[in-house]
Amino acid sequence: MTNPILSNWTTPFQIAPFTEISDADFSPALEQAMKAHNSQIEEIASNAEPPTFANTIEVLETAGEALDKVLSVFFTVAGADSNPAREALQRDFSPRISAHFSGISSNKALFQRIADLWDRRDTLDLTDEQARVLMLTHRSFVRSGAALQGAEDVRMQEIKARLASLGTAFTQNLLADERDWFMDLSEDDLEGLPDFVVDAARAAGAEKGAAGPVVTLSRSLIVPFLQFSARRDLREKAYRAWAARGANGGKTDNREIAAEILALREERAKLLGYDSFAGFKLETEMARTPDRVRDLLMQVWEPARARAESDAEILTGLMQDDGVNAPLEAWDWRYYAEKRRKAEHDLDEAALKPYLQLDRMIEAAFSCSHRLFGLEFAPLDVSLYHPDCRAWEVTRNGKHVAVFIGDYFARGSKRSGAWCSAMRAQAKVPAEQAPVVINVCNFAKGDPALLSYDDARTLFHEFGHALHQMLSNVTYESISGTSVARDFVELPSQLYEHWLEVPEVLSEFATHAETGEPMPPQMLDKVLKAANFDQGFQTVEYVASALVDLAFHDGAAPADPMAMQAEILTDLGMPRAIGMRHATPHFAHVFAGDGYSSGYYSYMWSEVMDADAFAAFEEAGGAFDPEKARALEEHILSTGGSREAEELYLAFRGRLPGVDALLKGRGLIAA
């Protein structure tokens, strides 16, 4: 009987047949797919014909189709709908998958063919896209250690396998801490909480099998609880649990794992001839060097910290007005910031939230993409991996473009955060391949589901990533969609957030959950004016995390990351009532894998561009200017990694922006 993962998928648009796949199918499918991939690699490496782009690079691009199917299905469900069996499989798979790809990158015969083509590149008559793919392939092999020999080669494979296992352990420990902790709330504890928080707490209690409402460590629940609960003792208990994720001792503690990861990354970089892991990692990014990253972050840090210190004095005054004669703490900030926002902007999130219905915000994101790029979305009736998931066919001018899947609600089986991934990426070889793209979020359930303004921005952000995947129009999968420099990948997503703030978008789609009435003009005006509220806090908690990440990787790995984290924050003058957005033991961006290691700064690097890019629309015909939309698609959204990121941005905008655009956008300096 054919394994359903490896079968010919006859589902609509060849979406994975999730209902036919059991957890028992994954291990044999992985084994079979890796064997098939190894056979394909060996055939390429042992080809007696002289290497050509077609018989080496192009066939390497298209090899491993079965393995792609296995990995896309498995990692989708492992991240968004985990269970003990899948967690065990992930622990087993991580070193095996690492060893598999390490074996390919260390295949000397294969690398010799690639190196031969690289040496003869000027004589090969390649298209620009082919030349780019050859360069990236050669660079990837070199950076993976393909040129290493003997003991160094062996050690590199060991390091990569160990890092894969450690990243999986870090992720699963964090998920366990988030899943297992909750705080029971009595009916009296709910007093003063808005209905949407109470509803979310009751839904969370039902999911946990508790007797009543609970607070969990899901950001979509704990943040509004910290905003609205008048019970300082409960806020402290919840915040301390949230801040302690991954640092509770015992088998789920991530502190020693983080230290070992940092040491192995440093060793890996030095094997490849770099002074530090940050130097190795940033070489291929727009920033290029740790010094350029640090310069950007410090330009933002000083005005943000000054704003936060000034805000802290105001919040302390509000706390004293409540009769609390104690220092402002991290569990106080959001509560008193919400009071201040209500007083200064007359904006009450409890009153705002009914206007931000999840379904209407999805419609808004779709509508903006239609006005900008002509995309249409039609619901698909297909079985997916969880009942919460929804799917749409994406078309343009009647032609199929992509399948888009949304998985929006928080649950215990889903890791925290929000992300976008392509279960199948766009490509044209060996045949036209339309993408299947998924957005995963962690919003609180409700009837209807209501979002905070930050939630709504997250939805638009992830959909911006989805557009980057769906509008991709390149030949080769390795440069498709979001396969770009890490500090460029956030540009489309952060840029798309701006359309949420376009008044005509909110006036059309921000309609009240009960009355259906559009958001009143006065409230809309307050929302837009308050868009930069509390930016001192938000910027400080982010930049502190980015600076710690950079310091961890720019020099000798610390034996005690927690001590180094504390030292960095002290040197920065971190405000006492603000915690890092991601402290080391739960900094999944940095420690769950290499993706954002030395690269957490990239959100801010991209923000420098996104503020400037949206200004290009405003300087033209407005947010929906058709010429600018065409330019955005032509030069950024459709091009993937086919050219250098800086070159793509210059083609769109004509210049590179300075940091002032970001500071003005955040309201940290005068516009």
Ramachandran assignment for 423, one of left (phi > 0), alpha (psi -120 to 50 degrees), beta (any other): alpha
Query: What is the average pLDDT score of the chain?
Result: 96
* Nearest residue to 469 via CA among 410, 405, 416, 414: 405
Q: How confident is the model at residue 585 (pLDDT cuts 50, 70, 90)?
A: very high
In whole angstroms, what is the distance from residue 610 CA to residue 285 CA?
A: 17
Q: What is the pLDDT of residue 658?
A: 86
Q: Is the pLDDT of residue 497 over 80?
A: yes
User: Once rounded to an integer, what is the mean pLDDT over residues 299-310?
Assistant: 96
pLDDT band for 296, please (50, 70, 90 cuts).
very high
| Of 527 and 233, more confident | 233
Those residues whose C-beta lies under 8 Å from the C-beta of residue 419, and which sit 6 or more positions away, are 79, 439, 440, 462
**Token digits for 540?**
């400080």
Question: Residue 396's beta-bridge partner residues?
Answer: 399
Task: Give the pLDDT confidence score for residue 349 in this predicted structure.
Answer: 84
> pLDDT by residue (tens digit) across 214-267?
999 999 999 999 999 999 999 999 999 999 999 999 999 999 999 999 999 999
Lowest mean pLDDT among 156-170, 270-284, 337-351, 531-545: 337-351
User: Lowest-pLDDT range, 62-76, 99-113, 648-662?
Assistant: 648-662
Average pLDDT over residues 105-124: 97
Q: What number is the average pLDDT over the span 433-454?
A: 95
Partners of 511 in beta bridges: 518
Q: Alpha-carbon distance 422 to 72, whole Å?
A: 8
Mean per-residue pLDDT for 351-372? 97
Mean pLDDT of the 48-69 span: 97
pLDDT at 550: 98
pLDDT at residue 540 is higher than 70: yes
Helices 602-619 and 645-653 meet at what angle, rounded to 10? 20
pLDDT at position 306 is 96
Task: Note whether 314 and 534 are within 8 A (CB).
Answer: no
CA distance 425 to 64: 14
Report pLDDT digits (tens) over 606-632. Answer: 999 999 999 999 999 999 999 999 999
Residue 433 confidence class, pLDDT cut points 50, 70, 90: very high
Q: Please give the domain boundaries of the chain with CATH numbers for all domains.
A: 12-147 (1.20.1050), 181-245 (no CATH), 251-347+535-600 (1.10.1370.10), 354-529+603-665 (1.10.1370.40)
The burial class, CB within 10 Å (0-12 / 13-18 / 19+), for 398 is: exposed
**pLDDT exceeds 80 at position 546:** yes
Task: Specify the pLDDT at position 491.
Answer: 97
SS in 3 state form for 158-218? HHHHHHHHHHHHHHHHHHHHHHHCEEECCCHHHCCCCHHHHHHHHHHHHHHCCCCCEEECC
Q: What is the pLDDT of residue 671?
A: 63
DSSP assignment of 635-661, as one string? IIITTTTSS-HHHHHHHHHSS---THH
The answer to whether the beta carbons of residues 235 and 335 sit under 8 Å apart is yes
- pTM of the complete model: 0.93
The per-residue pLDDT for range 1-55, each reduced to its tens digit, is: 789 999 999 999 999 999 999 999 999 999 999 999 999 999 999 999 999 999 9
Phi and psi, residue 305, nearest 5°: -65, -40
Is 90 exceeded by the pLDDT of residue 660? Answer: no
Model pLDDT, residue 599: 96
pLDDT exceeds 90 at position 666: no
Q: What is the pLDDT of residues 506-515, one digit of tens each?
A: 999 999 999 9
Report pLDDT for 667: 87
Report the candidate in 278, 276, 303, 307 with the shortest Cα–Cα distance to residue 290: 278
The amino acid that residue 151 corresponds to is: A
Instruction: State the pLDDT at residue 466.
Output: 98
**pLDDT score for 172:** 97
Residue 164 tokens read as 């894969």
**What pLDDT does 649 receive?**
97
Q: Which residues are catalytic?
A: 462
Q: What percentage of residues in the chain have a pLDDT greater than 70?
A: 100
What pLDDT band is residue 437 in, cutting at 50, 70 and 90?
very high
- The per-residue pLDDT for 531 is 84
Helix pair angle (486-497, 453-470), 10° resolution: 120
